[in-house]
Structure formats: structure tokens, C-alpha cells
Structure 1
Amino acid sequence: MHVPGQMRRRAVMALLGTAAAGPALAQFRVEVTGVGLTQLPIAIAPFKGEAELPEKLAAIVQNDLERSGQFRAVDAGAGAGLDETSRPDLAPWRQKTADSLAVGSATRLADGRYDVRFRLWDVVRGQSLAADGFVVVAADLRLAAHRVADMIYEKLTGEKGVFSTRIAYVTKAGNRYNLWVADSDGENAQSALSSVESIISPAWSANGRQLAYVSFESRKPVVYVHDVATGGRRLIANFRGSNSAPAWSPDGRTLAVTLTRDGGSQLYTIASTGGEPRRLTQSAGIDTEPLYSADGSTIYFVSDRGGAPQVYRMPAAGGQPQRVTFTGTYNISPALSPDNRWLAYISRINGAFKLQVMEISSGNVQSVTDTTADESPSFAPNGRMIIYATRQGGSEALMTTTLDGKIKARLPGKGGDIREPDWGPFQR
């Protein structure tokens, strides 16, 4: 599994005997494309006072909501000067066919912090639906906007918003690798780790406080766990051979990993504090890329035990594996939705690598992208979107898509060869 300088899909393909294209530099901008079947028309008026802010709050809220695929933005040009303190004239918004209107303000306090407030109006019924506020430091203005978007999303859809969550991803620029932690929209990226050796397979713990990953700084793949807040880390797996593909159990006590300590690549579990691993699989093939179901009862993984890589599942304590994917002859990099309803994975189709989404109960599979170098899908914690890496327009890109593929957004990110995004959990 020692493939320095390659991302996880490329590492898995090398492990399973397939070549991959090399890296490319990337430029980024946010793009939302496609038309959803049902979208809620909403207007986000400029927040009063945001012209003096380093961040334009209304634009952040609007981009969040549009990216979800659940909302269609209505021109808010008539909203200048509105705030949450008084009832606006809703007639112009009804004429614009908006169902709802969000207004707000941002005020700098004497201590340098900002008081961010908003109100959501039902334009049709003329009712106030929600109102709230946050006092934040300047560095958290984006987070405040994401929280506003979360509240609007939950109020109008009945489901929890994911905009204030975080993502992790890896870049390679020149001879340097970086593990980044960023807002869910790709902005505000902070480097968690920088190395001249490969970093692969970042995986968030269920509480969002730790990242497991594989580092090649010892000139071989070794598993670490990294504390995001402090930057401290601990060594988890450094056994003979390859140590790779860490995946957290939902309770955070255990990691499933792929080890070659006893010969071929097989699955093991190991305490998240380290220790002696316990072997789960006993196959003559290659078993790798484990992940836990949300309830911790099942482990999904990739194996070529049937002659070509497919997704399997088995009880988390070990047991007889069952094959899950049957469409196509080469399926890797599984990701499971939090409700265990959907499985996303990468399928090789006529030489192209395509993101697929399968409804587990029916086995129905849909290809949701028109790109040909997709990799590393990861579900949003509400299960409504998937983040993945791909090549678009000749450059590397971080993308999100709705499950039906109708709404996609290209996220900004750090320059270089983009790899392996993982969407973090709801913050606890």
C-alpha cells in the first residue's frame, strides 16, 4: 500500500492493480449548477452594517442555502436598509415570488466583538418564523453566518442544517502535503499538518474533535490520531508493513484499520488509544477501506475476494461478509449516509471513475456526476449532500452534490492537487 504522493483512490487502485493520472494545479470558485425539482424561493437581504465587515454575511447565508439544493435565491436588491428590529413591507417580496425573507444586522461592540442578529419572515402569511443572534469575534463572523443558514434551513425544511460543520482535505503542492480543516463551504481553511511526505485518508471522529489519518513521514504508512484544537497527536498503528485506511467507530473508542502485518491487506480493529489490534477478516484477497455504520453494528469495506474490487459488509465484531455492490466490475471508496439508507462509492465505468449513489434497500444505483475522475465521497452529517474530489475543467476540484446530482457546487480550496475530503459531524 506504499504509494507516496498519491491520493487514497489512487492508492487503492495501485493496491488493486490499476494505474491513475497524475496531479494538476487548481484554481477555485464557487459554482452552483443544475435545477432541483422543488426549491423554496427565499430572499436574503443584505445585513445592515455588513458593508463595514470583512465578511458579507448575506452572501454566505445565500450560498449555503443554494448549495443545499433545497432553496432558490430571489433577488434581494430591494432589501437594503432592512434589519431584524422592525416589520418590513412584505408586498414587494410577494411580487418577487419569495416565500420567505431573511433580514439581519451586524454591530461592532465596544470590546471589538460583533453582535450578529437575524429574523426570518414568512412572506406569504406575514409572520415572523424565527429570530436569533450571536456575539462573535471577527474571526467567527463566517461561522455566525453559517449558523444563521443552519437555523433557516431547519426552520423551513424540518431537518438540521450542516453549514456550520467542517470538512477536512489534503493537498499536495510542490513537494509539500497539507491536511486542511475548513468551513463546510471550503472557506477559512486552516492547516492542521504540513509534511514533505504523503498524508492520506483523513477521517473525523464522531465528536468532531479528532482526525485520524495516515502519514508517510516514517517512509511507510502509519496511522495517527490528531487533536484538532490543540494540534497534539498520538501514534495508533505502526506495525510491520502497511498501516492504512483508519475509520472511527461511532463511540470513538475504536478504529478499524487495514494492516499487512500478517501478510496480505486485512481488516483489524484497534483501540483509539492504541494497543494490540484484533483481526476481523481472513481472506486470500485484499480487504481495505473499512467504515462503520452509524449505529456501529456493521462495517462496510472493499475487497477483491471475488476477483475484482467490490463493496462488502459484515458485523462489526467480524463474521461472514456479504457483497453489497453488484452493478459494475470495479467499485471502491464507500461512504455511508448517517441514516444507513444510501451508499456512495466510486465505480470505474469505461475507464472513467464516477461517483455512484445506491439506495441500499432496493439496490438501485444512480450515477450523479458527468466528470470522469471522481474520488473519496463523504456524506454531510444530515445525509443530504456528498462532498467529493474530482477534475473539472482540467483542474482539481472539491465539489458537493445533492444525492440526485441535480445541484452541484464547486468549493474554494487551497491550491494544488486536491485529495480525500471528509465531511465532519455536527458539532457537539
Structure 2
Amino acid sequence: MSRYLFIIFFWLLAMVPPAAQAELTIEIVGGASQQIPIAIVPFSRPGQTDALTPVIAADLQRSGLFRTLETRGVASQPHDLAEVKYPDWTALQAQALVIGKIEPLAGGKLKVSFRLLDVLKQTPLAGLEYEITPAQMRGTAHKIADVIYEKLTGERGVFATRISYVTKSKGNRFVLQVADSDGVNPQTVLSSKEPIISPTWSPDGTKLAYVSFEKKKPIIYVQSLTSGQRSVLANYKGNNSAPAWSPDGNRLAIVLTYGANSQIYLINADGTGLKQLSRSRGIDTEPVWSPDGKWIYFTSDRGGSPQVYKMSTLGGEAQRVTFEGSYNVSPYLSPDGKLLTYVRRESGKFRITQQDLTNGQVQILSDTAQDESPSYAPNGRQILYATNMGGKGVLSVVSSDGRTKQRLSEAGGDVREPSWGPWVN
């Protein structure tokens, strides 16, 4: 691939068919071989519909690790510990039971309380109370699902995290959006008639860096998600692209054609201290930091075909990382730094691939053919990416073992450029 085409390939990922601005819908297309059977009794809320239980159940089902049981046929419908009759839930073959209630408080607030119980041992596992406003109901449901997930799997859940992505609506309107991890509650960060690409989250989850073409050239911006205020990070001569935050949030790796081919630079988060990192005759692009902040992984055609390399953030020689296949791009590191995901082209198909950096083992995770832009969930158990299904762009999620898959799509529209946000305490 020529240098010119190599650059254009990444730009064209943003030039997709029209998409409508709406919530994403989820289709689960696979699951783990063994799932924990869990019963969730609808939370009591006198005179009003329970809005928590459906969200909690959907979260756990999306993980692929849980099988939610139908509870309406059980005679007892407990909401307090004293009301629980364990034989009823043993007969249902539930291993875990969730009960709870929603109670009104002064000033229009609500108290949400829940308990997670081990049916086999007949003991409580967790119990929390939240004082919330009605607008915080969905977020609270995600938090409860995270507690359940962590208690039953031993790993922190990611249901209360957020994702970002770009849609393209009719009339050439690009929209950068942030939504809950299940695609619900989308919020517009930026709307433009020109392409928006490469959104990436700051480590504290309060900002997005992205590339906008609104000035008829690619410029990197940083925008606050709390105030909406944004600033130009890089607007140098030529192209400014591919921002990636350092783990401490103090610097970003970016790609510039400033005076040469596409090369990787480091820059402070306030736009000062520009420093060139990579120096090659090829095209170096798509940088991503290792979790310890010591390495930059990136795509380069310096060896003839695009492959993943790494180099120290202090500079020095680049080391090739991927060797299987003749075309490997778009690297992304797992939160623990042990796994590398990227897009591999094989037999004309672009698929999400994962490489174990400890032993070199490579596994193709996706079964689609036009995949791009992979990013790990904060717990490293899932990978979010964009693909094409039935002629339109959709987001997909695959577990890091390849067993669980789901798709997030908009009715009649396209979605691209996904990025999974961090945990926010």
C-alpha cells in the first residue's frame, strides 16, 4: 500500500452512509458456555412501575455470564430479608437472588435499597442503599448491576461506564455522542457538517480528545464533558490526527505530518511541549500508550506493510510486535497491559484480533468482515469496535475470550468511531 493510500484508508473510515441520532439497540448473538442462574425479583415501588429491574437484568445478560430466571411464577415475591423463602428459589434452580425496593423521600427524592443473596448457602452477599433523584434511576441500576457482577465473578463491572461514538445523519451531519454502556441516554458532544473521528477519553472520564474537519483540515480538540468548553490541542501545518491520552492524563500522543510523513509526537494536555517521538521514512500512526506509560504502540508501514510496533516514550528504536499476517493496524492495549487487540486483514476480511503479549498467542475474535476501531472495556473483559452489517455501520462488543458477542445499532443509521470510557469513581 502506498503512503498516500495508507493515510486515506484511515480518513475514509469516517466517510460512511447516513445515520439517525437515536439510542442504540442491543442484540445479543452469543454467550458463555456456563452462565450463573440468577433471579431478580421486581423491586417494590407502590403505585409506580419498577424501572430498575429491567435495566439490571439486561446488564447482566449482556455480559454473557448470567442467565436471568423468570420470577413471576414464584409464589413468594420478597423485598426484605425476612420475607425470603429460600426453598422457593432453590426449586427455581437459582444460585443467586436479588431483592429490593424503592421508597419515596422528602423533596421528591427516592431511597433505593437492594440485597444480593446466595441461594445455595442461604446467606447475604451484598446490600446497599442509595438516595437518588428520579433522573438517576438508570445510573443506579447500572451501579447495582456492577455490584452484583463483582460479587459473583470477583471482577469489577463496567455497566456504569460510558461509551463515545460518531453518527452521520442525513444532510451530512456528523454527531459525536456519549451514552451509557448499553447505548441508552445519548448526549451530543459536538455536531458538525464535517467529519469527526478518533474520539478518545481522558483517564478521569471528564474530557474527550477528537479530530474535527470543521475548518476543512484535521485539527485535534480537547473538550470538557461537564462544561462543554473545548480548546485546540494541535493545529499544525498539515494533518493533526490520532490523539491518545497518557495514563496520567498529563500528555497525549498525536500524529502530525508536520514537515514530513505522518510521525508520532508527544504533547502536553494544555497544548505545550510538542516533542517528536518517532522518526522513520514510513508512516507511523494510531499511537496508544501502555498502561504503565512507558511504551507507545503504533501502526507503521516502515517494514513494507502495516504492522504494530512499540517504542519507549523516551525515544529509541522501534520494536515490531505483530508478525502473523501481512496487514495489522489499530492497536489497543488491555488495561493490564497483557493483551493487544488490533485489526487484521486476512483473505480480504478485516477482523478484530487479540495477541497475548506474554506468550505471543494470536486469536481472531470477530466473525464479521469490516471491523475497525477496537477498544477494551475498563476491566479488559470486552472489546468495543465498529463493523458493517447489512450495508450499515454498527457497534459490536466481543468478550476477550471470543465467546460472547453483541451488537449495538441505530434503526436505519450508521455508527462509527467507538471508544469505551474509563471507570469514574
The CA distance in 2 between the partners of 1:50 and 1:372, in whole Å, is 50
Paired residues, number: 417
Query: Does residue 418 of the first structure (1) align with residue 415 of the second (2)?
Result: yes
Task: Report the AA paired with residue 133 of structure 2.
Answer: V
Task: Identify which of 275, 300, 304 aligns with 1:303.
Answer: 300
For the structure 1 residues 124 and 389, does the alpha-carbon distance in structure 2 shift closer, same or farther, using more than 3 Å as the test? same
The CA distance in 2 between the partners of 1:74 and 1:297, in whole Å, is 46
Contact in 2 for aligned 1:24/1:396 (Cα 8 Å): no
Query: Does residue 130 of the first structure (1) align with residue 126 of the second (2)?
Result: yes
Deviations 1:261-283 (A, max 9, x none): 12110000000000241000110
Contact in 2 for aligned 1:29/1:412 (Cα 8 Å): yes
What TM-score, normalized by structure 2, do the two folds share? 0.93
Query: Does residue 191 of the first structure (1) align with residue 188 of the second (2)?
Result: yes
The within-5 A match list for 1:23-422 is 23=17, 25=19, 29-49=25-45, 52-53=48-49, 56-78=51-73, 81-84=77-80, 86-174=82-170, 175-411=172-408, 413=410, 416-422=413-419
Q: CA deviation at 1:315?
A: 0.7
Judge which range, 25-34 or 391-400, deviates more: 25-34
Task: Report the AA paired with residue 14 of structure 1.
Answer: I
The CA distance in 1 between the partners of 2:369 and 2:247, in whole Å, is 32
Task: Report the AA paired with residue 417 of structure 2.
Answer: E
For the structure 1 residues 385 and 317, does the alpha-carbon distance in structure 2 shift closer, same or farther, using more than 3 Å as the test? same
Q: CA deviation at 1:52?
A: 2.4
Deviations 1:116-145 (A, max 9, x none): 211001000111111102122222111000
Q: Partner of 1:14 in structure 2?
A: 8
Contact in 1 for aligned 2:341/2:354 (Cα 8 Å): yes
Contact in 2 for aligned 1:389/1:399 (Cα 8 Å): yes
Task: Report the AA paired with residue 356 of structure 2.
Answer: E
Secondary structure of the residue aligned to 2:25 is: coil
What TM-score, normalized by structure 1, do the two folds share? 0.92
Which ranges of structure 1 fall in alignment gaps of 5 or more residues? 1-10
Q: CA deviation at 1:353?
A: 1.2
For the structure 1 residues 335 and 18, does the alpha-carbon distance in structure 2 shift closer, same or farther, using more than 3 Å as the test? same
Task: Report the AA paired with residue 23 of structure 1.
Answer: P
Deviations 1:389-411 (A, max 9, x none): 11234432122111122111223
The CA distance in 2 between the partners of 1:56 and 1:118, in whole Å, is 14
Contact in 1 for aligned 2:19/2:168 (Cα 8 Å): no
The CA distance in 1 between the partners of 2:272 and 2:319, in whole Å, is 29
Which ranges of structure 2 fall in alignment gaps of 5 or more residues? none
Percent identity over paired residues: 47
Task: Report the AA paired with residue 38 of structure 1.
Answer: Q
Cα root mean square deviation, aligned:
2.2
Task: Report the AA paired with residue 200 of structure 1.
Answer: I
The CA distance in 2 between the partners of 1:17 and 1:58, in whole Å, is 42
Displaced runs of 4+ in structure 1, greater than 6 A? 16-21
Secondary structure of the residue aligned to 2:279 is: coil
Contact in 2 for aligned 1:50/1:56 (Cα 8 Å): no
Contact in 1 for aligned 2:329/2:342 (Cα 8 Å): yes
